[in-house]
Amino acid sequence: MIEFVGVTKAFDGQRVVDDLTLEVRRGELLVLLGRSGSGKSTLLRLVNRLLEPDRGELRFAGRAVREFAPEALRRRIGYVIQGVGLFPHWSVARNVGTVPRLLGWPRERIEARAAELLALLGLDPATFGGRYPHELSGGQQQRVGVARALAAGPEALLMDEPFGALDPLTRADLQAELLRLQRASGQTVVFVTHDVDEALRLATRIVLIDAGRIVQQGTPAELLARPVNEQVAQFVGGGEAGLRLLALERVAGAMRAAPAARTTPLPTPPASTMAAPRAPDAPALAPRSWPAISPDATLRDALALCVARQVDRLQVVDAQQRVLGTLHAADLFGRRR
């Protein structure tokens, strides 16, 4: 989909991108991960010709990008930036319709598309379509920013630290939203971040960049489990590589499933026993009241719950209070053998 072939870019004699070769494949969510100043944002801006390389070639959809008119290229590639960059003098709906309007779509189709995308991003079109950007929260603005970038069905989506300015809860919401959208649609995304947890959570593939070169690339699990050197281990693992590995997997994949007959509604235990941490000297819990956990929770959440509640197994319970199985703490270890 997007190829970098021996690309070099320097600013004031300083090589920000250094003879870099990389292919972004259709349908993947590729995260360019690196410290500030590692050249990852420059890479994005080379793709849609906001910058031109000093040497090497970029290809988009099989053709060299310099063969495209910059405007035509950019209308086929969505772009989301940290500052959001919504047009403050246009309504939300008009913002979302920017690229379709540039492409000359008929008006009804633009309006329908804007409404569709706002709904997709969890914003009610009737409520938000007519508002102006300054009337929205930071998280809502970035949702509109993502909707605008997706409006014309771009073949690739470039995201430059899009959630960097948001508070942690809003950021987690938007990450979950992006994950859901991308996995469902197979949208090709190139996502730039310096946040390791964000990269591990979102990526199908991570490319670790330092000083304009690729240091290592692979799936999140590969980077965590087999870092090429101590620096990578330090940057990606940061002393909690094991926990981050657990965070990559869901409870549903590690539990011991209950026989189908036993997936019956669980009598709801009293709220007090659910909430209060058990005193260390209290008698062991009866088997039927192991703490409950959702099948969608990560194994890291499960471990945290085991430690907090001083138990070695959890009951996996879905949103309808049906028992799906049990998760044994021992299964969290030795799974990779």
Partner 1 sequence: MTTSRAPSHLPHPARVANPVLALLMLLALAAATGLGFVALAPNRLLEGQPVPLWRLAGTLPAPLLVAAAACAALLLAAAFAPRGRPASAAAAASRMPAASRMPRRQVVVAAAAAALLALMLALAGDAAARLVREALTPLARVSLGAGFWVIVLALVLALADALQRLRLGAAARVAASAAALLPALGVAASGALGELSLAREYANRPDVFWQAFAAHLEIVAAALLPTLAIGWPLGAAAFHSERVARPLLAALGVVQTVPALALFGLLIAPLAALGLPGVGRLPALIALVMYSLLPVVQSTAAGLAQVPAAPVEAAAAMGMTPRQVFWQVRVALALPLLVAGLRVCTVQAIGLAVLAALIGAGGLGALVFQGLFGTAMDLVLLGVLPVVALALVADAALRLVAAGLAPIAP
**Binding flag, residue 89, partner 1 (CB under 8 A):** yes
* Burial (CB count within 10 angstroms: exposed 0-12, middle 13-18, buried 19+), residue 112: middle
**Binding flag, residue 9, partner 1 (CB under 8 A):** no
In whole angstroms, give the CA distance from residue 2 to residue 148: 21
Q: Which stretch binds partner 1 (CB under 8 A): 23-31, 76-84, 111-119, 195-203?
A: 76-84
* E-state strands within the chain: 2-11, 14-24, 29-33, 55-60, 63-64, 77-81, 156-160, 188-193, 205-210, 213-218, 256-257, 292-293, 313-317, 323-328
According to CB under 8 A, which one of 134, 275, 279, 336 is a site residue for partner 1?
134
**Binding flag, residue 110, partner 1 (CB under 8 A):** no
Backbone angles phi, psi at 122, to 5 degrees: 80, 25
Q: How far is the CB of 41 from partner 1 (least distance, A)?
A: 12
Q: How far is the CB of 297 from partner 1 (least distance, A)?
A: 37
Q: How far is the CB of 40 from partner 1 (least distance, A)?
A: 16
In whole angstroms, give the CA distance from residue 215 to residue 101: 41
According to CB under 8 A, which one of 86, 208, 303, 314 is a site residue for partner 1?
86
Closer residue to partner 1 (CB): 102 or 120: 102
| Cα angle for residues 30, 25, 247 (degrees, 5° grid) | 35
Residue 22: beta bridge partners?
Answer: 4
Q: How far is the CB of 79 from partner 1 (least distance, A)?
A: 4
Q: How far is the CB of 204 from partner 1 (least distance, A)?
A: 24
In whole angstroms, give the CA distance from residue 285 to residue 3: 57
Per-residue CA distances from 16 to 43, 200, 220, 224, 289 (Å): 9, 24, 25, 26, 57
Closer residue to partner 1 (CB): 101 or 205: 101
Closer residue to partner 1 (CB): 30 or 81: 81
52 token code pair: 């031109």
Q: Which stretch binds partner 1 (CB under 8 A): 66-74, 199-207, 226-234, 261-269?
A: 66-74
Q: How far is the CB of 92 from partner 1 (least distance, A)?
A: 13
Q: Which stretch binds partner 1 (CB under 8 A): 70-78, 204-212, 254-262, 275-283?
A: 70-78
238 φψ region: left (φ > 0), alpha (ψ -120 to 50), beta (else)? left
Closer residue to partner 1 (CB): 24 or 255: 24
Closer residue to partner 1 (CB): 82 or 187: 82
Of 190, 238, 213, 204, the C-alpha closest to 227 is 238
> Under a CB-based contact definition with an 8 Å cutoff, are residues 102 and 69 in contact?
no
Residue 79: beta bridge partners?
Answer: 158
310 token code pair: 């001083």
Of 22, 7, 3, the C-alpha closest to 156 is 3
According to CB under 8 A, which one of 23, 55, 66, 87 is a site residue for partner 1?
87
For the window 149-168, what string marks contact with partner 1 as x by the rule CB under 8 A?
A: --------------------
**Binding flag, residue 295, partner 1 (CB under 8 A):** no
Q: Which stretch binds partner 1 (CB under 8 A): 28-36, 94-102, 283-291, 297-305?
A: 94-102
**Binding flag, residue 267, partner 1 (CB under 8 A):** no
Q: Which residues bind partner 1 (CB under 8 A)?
A: 48, 50, 70-75, 79, 81, 83-89, 98-99, 102, 132, 134, 148
